Structure 1
């Protein structure tokens, strides 16, 4: 990934921190964004410290503001000359004990976090990813999008909507490639849930069965630039156990 310029949205959480470390180690120039300025600065500093000489910067961006998101993408391309990837790690969860107890306020929150931010980043970065010649748009999703449970209706519906939007982007990349095939790829990485070292320390007896470690997620993200766009465009790549086909 030497020379690649990759933006990471939602970079201040555990998955974002792991992605920054992994992408910096691979030689990419990484531009991180998050709404929490203090946590973002800490994540950026950690990635810089771990990999001396790595170019890792951070921007506090409100991804619910489409104009601010477009301005962020424009600034990255102007400063770096290119954008080769957008990794979407903005997350959030709300649920209920039963379907009947679902609070539709949860949908309002999750639609913003899990759908609107995907819409804004994909539209803002679309043209630059096509210009790159090896652009990657990466969505992290959950198995609940295809196997919703009663208490996770709002969460599963929001994840499914984000997946559908990403697959529409993938179709656009396919059409833009014409007979030569897509040069850019929109890919969905599916997990059951994520786990990191702090969670294990807090619950030393928990098994976290089927969970994906954030370091493994980061490896999977970085590996997408090693694969042909044709192979991974519109793909749902399972890092969790894939459900049996009906």
Structure 2
């Protein structure tokens, strides 16, 4: 999508939740390449520091910082959003990459303990980041809230009941946020939303280390984390009204 350092993200302030994993590392690096000021958060300080260092190394002179934040605590998440806006003067995006997976061999073997974990990782963190950043994203004038979701939310399989249900709930919450942006836009000047919430849908993610571990695996329909990062950057190229409330499919629709 070609968003370089002189594109829509030049000078934009983008927060990335769950920045320490492979998708986070790729996203930090690509956002920095596009000229953004990037603020990552993760609950693993070591992993986060490695991701921040990698993004800085790949983009000399880029502003990439990291902070250990408990996204399961709403007050901590709000404080993080407030610190970003105070330090950098604005917030132009929140990319939500917090993930986790638990599954079972069959529906009958579904373990509700998996739901207890996934509800926190996949729903509660979305609720907290969306509430914490909602007002700041509108103040930025071209804000984006991006949820990374899975095709299983639309077509659950027997062994993925907890995971699919949690992802579906996170999508519904994000779409409600999008409706909030829409209503705020029409209540103002009537020129549409000043921010957008959207969902990027993958089947699953793959990265170089996974391929190295399983050289014979096909990973059919999987999205490479670099391609995900490219899609994230491209969302700022589109008008908020065209992005808001939509799903961007990076894999085949179920």
TM-score, structure 2 normalization: 0.95
1:202 is matched with 213
1:232 is matched with 243
- SS of 1:91 mapped into structure 2: coil
How far does residue 226 in structure 1 lie from its aligned partner after superposition? Answer: 0.5
Mapped to 1, the partners of 2:122 and 2:222 lie a distance apart of: 20
Mapped to 2, the partners of 1:232 and 1:74 lie a distance apart of: 25
Mapped to 2, the partners of 1:163 and 1:136 lie a distance apart of: 15
How far does residue 242 in structure 1 lie from its aligned partner after superposition? Answer: 1.3
Select the residue among 115, 130, 145 that pairs with 2:138: 130
Mapped to 1, the partners of 2:253 and 2:123 lie a distance apart of: 23
How far does residue 96 in structure 1 lie from its aligned partner after superposition? Answer: 0.3
2:173 is matched with 165
How far does residue 165 in structure 1 lie from its aligned partner after superposition? Answer: 0.1
1:1-246 counterparts in 2 under 5 A?
1-178=9-186, 179-243=190-254
How far does residue 72 in structure 1 lie from its aligned partner after superposition? Answer: 0.2
How far does residue 31 in structure 1 lie from its aligned partner after superposition? Answer: 0.2
Mapped to 2, the partners of 1:2 and 1:151 lie a distance apart of: 43
Mapped to 2, the partners of 1:105 and 1:162 lie a distance apart of: 18
How far does residue 14 in structure 1 lie from its aligned partner after superposition? Answer: 0.3
Mapped to 2, the partners of 1:168 and 1:224 lie a distance apart of: 19
Mapped to 2, the partners of 1:24 and 1:136 lie a distance apart of: 16
- SS of 2:38 mapped into structure 1: strand
- SS of 1:180 mapped into structure 2: coil
Mapped to 1, the partners of 2:48 and 2:149 lie a distance apart of: 22
Per-residue CA distance 1:101-158 (angstroms, 9 max, x = gap): 0000000000000000000000000000000000000000000000000000000000
Mapped to 1, the partners of 2:134 and 2:11 lie a distance apart of: 20
How far does residue 240 in structure 1 lie from its aligned partner after superposition? Answer: 0.5
Mapped to 2, the partners of 1:101 and 1:211 lie a distance apart of: 26
Could you list the runs of 5+ residues in structure 2 that have no partner in the other structure?
A: 1-8
Mapped to 1, the partners of 2:94 and 2:248 lie a distance apart of: 17
- SS of 1:110 mapped into structure 2: helix
